Amino acid sequence: MLLYDSAVSGNCYKVRLLLSMQGIPFERREVDVVERSDRMELLGELNPALRVPTLVLDDGEPLAESNAILCYLAEGTELLPAERLARARVLQWLFFEQYSHEPYIAVVRFWVMFSATPPTATEIEARRAGGYGALDAMERHLSGRTFLVGERFTIADIALYAYTHVAHEGGFEMSGYGAIERWLRRVDGQPGHIPITA
Amino acid sequence: MLLYDSAVSGNCYKVRLLLSMQGIPFERREVDVVERSDRMELLGELNPALRVPTLVLDDGEPLAESNAILCYLAEGTELLPAERLARARVLQWLFFEQYSHEPYIAVVRFWVMFSATPPTATEIEARRAGGYGALDAMERHLSGRTFLVGERFTIADIALYAYTHVAHEGGFEMSGYGAIERWLRRVDGQPGHIPITA
């Protein structure tokens, strides 16, 4: 498999982390996430959204959107339950991640750490408030639970872990989130875990 | 089933449209999408994101996130393919919808049509540009195709139809999107179709 990748992207890290846990070898092609002028040439035939990660399967078929790639790779394994409601709840958290979490926590981290033209401090602070909303929702849910769905480690945990475990890089103060911190340590301990820098 | 619903929300309309196509009866409970102070009381036990739609199944189990609800309801039917890659491609479009389409097209429509405190015209125009990016991606993909995935009507079409067919209400000029317009008419013609106002 060939992964159009970015070393700094949590969305790409989700895919690398799952592939590592599954022991699946893959090639990486680094794509610039700041200078994007070559995106149509690079990804136009592969991904309508022109984003990374984009995965090209061994038979040449492309697949895009980090959380759809997780579902594809986890299909038929314990990381994506077969039971209908549990499966839908995994998807619930994957959609939560892309709608209510990533646009705040990942975007603020990108602005703070990587952007050449970040917005004003006021705009960053306003966006950060949305991120705390997502963290509050996770903290409420994880209090008294070991993992997000069905007390088992699933791709919902991989998807939410990717940007939550580096939220501090975007200036998020994590000391009040005890249930999240304990959950992060449980994900750290999963066999095949690799750091985002790997 | 009980649907925590909003008559003006395209995300809720997705669920009503699919339930209508499937002939499944359900109750609706209208939730205010402008005045949100009662959300924790209303949805705190049901949906970590405190959003509509939230569906409560007949056995009392809650399920949230519009596109996760679509997957749950369509499981085992032709609207969600069983084949692994086709299923992942349906999910790819569902995640595209929530990340690259809804935050622009739905949000601009909400600001223009329903918000008591919309942002400035400059901010609306900047957000609208992101919506045209999503429409351009759909137009490229739908040119020469009848539906989004596998030349069959699936929940990917339901999810993207919901806000695309009312994009003009947010001031989007649709006359340049011929492939999208022809696809919208194909979705209009599906058995059990109901309008967003139903």
Per-residue pLDDT, B53: 98
Q: What mean pLDDT is predicted for residues B63-76?
A: 98
Fold designation for B84-188: Glutathione S-transferase Yfyf (Class Pi); Chain A, domain 2 (1.20.1050)
Residues B139-171 pLDDT 10s = 999 999 999 999 999 999 999 999 999 999 999
Q: What mean pLDDT is predicted for residues A5-13?
A: 97
Residues B21-49 pLDDT 10s = 999 999 999 999 888 899 999 999 999 99
Residues B87-108 pLDDT 10s = 999 999 999 999 999 999 999 9
Residues A94-118 pLDDT 10s = 999 999 999 999 999 999 999 999 9
Distance CA A133, CA A126 (A): 11
How many residue pairs bridge chain A and chain B with CB atoms within 8 Å of each other? 105
Question: Which homologous superfamily is B2-74 in?
Answer: Glutaredoxin (3.40.30.10)
Residues B51-66 pLDDT 10s = 999 999 999 999 999 9
Per-residue pLDDT, B175: 97
Which residues from chain B sit within 8 angstroms of residue A65, using beta carbons?
91-92, 95-96, 99
Per-residue pLDDT, B129: 98
Facing B95 at nearest CB: one of A57, A68, A140: A68
B189 contact A CB<8A = no
Question: Residue B155's closest CA among B78, B57, B51?
Answer: B78
Which residues from chain A sit within 8 angstroms of residue B98, using beta carbons?
95, 98-99
Distance CA B114, CA B158 (A): 23
Share of chain A above pLDDT 70, in %: 100
Give yes or no for a contact between B159 and B183, defined as CB atoms under 8 angstroms apart: no
Q: What mean pLDDT is predicted for residues A64-82?
A: 98
Per-residue pLDDT, B34: 86
* DSSP annotation string for A37-77: TTHHHHHTTT-TT--S-EEE-TTS-EEESHHHHHHHHHTTS
Interchain CB distance below 8 Å, A96 and B140: no
Per-residue pLDDT, B181: 98
Parts of chain B belonging to CATH 1.20.1050.10 = 84-188
| Closest residue on chain B to A40 (Cα) | B137
Which residues from chain A sit within 8 angstroms of residue B63, using beta carbons?
85, 88-89, 92
Whether the pLDDT of residue B112 is over 90: the answer is yes
* DSSP annotation string for chain B: -EEEE-TT-HHHHHHHHHHHHHT---EEEE--SS--TTHHHHHTTT-TT--S-EEE-TTS-EEESHHHHHHHHHTTSTTS--SHHHHHHHHHHHHHIIIIIIIIIIHHHHHHHT-SS---HHHHHHHHHHHHHHHHHHHHHHTT-SSSBTTB--HHHHHHHHHHTTGGGGT---TT-HHHHHHHHHHHTSTT---TT-
pTM: 0.98
Q: Categorize the per-residue pLDDT at A46 as very low, low, confident or very high, splitting at 50, 70 and 90.
A: very high
Parts of chain B belonging to CATH 3.40.30.10 = 2-74
Interchain CB distance below 8 Å, A99 and B65: yes
Q: What mean pLDDT is predicted for residues A150-178?
A: 98
Q: What is the mean pLDDT of chain A?
A: 97
Chain B residues 56-75 within an 8 A CB cutoff of chain A: 57, 61, 63-69, 71-72, 75
- DSSP bridge partners of B2: B27, B56
Per-residue pLDDT, A67: 98
Torsions phi, psi for B149 (to 5 deg): -130, 125
Sign of the CA dihedral with A156 first, then A157, A162, and A163 last = positive
Whether the pLDDT of residue A34 is over 90: the answer is no
Share of chain A above pLDDT 90, in %: 98
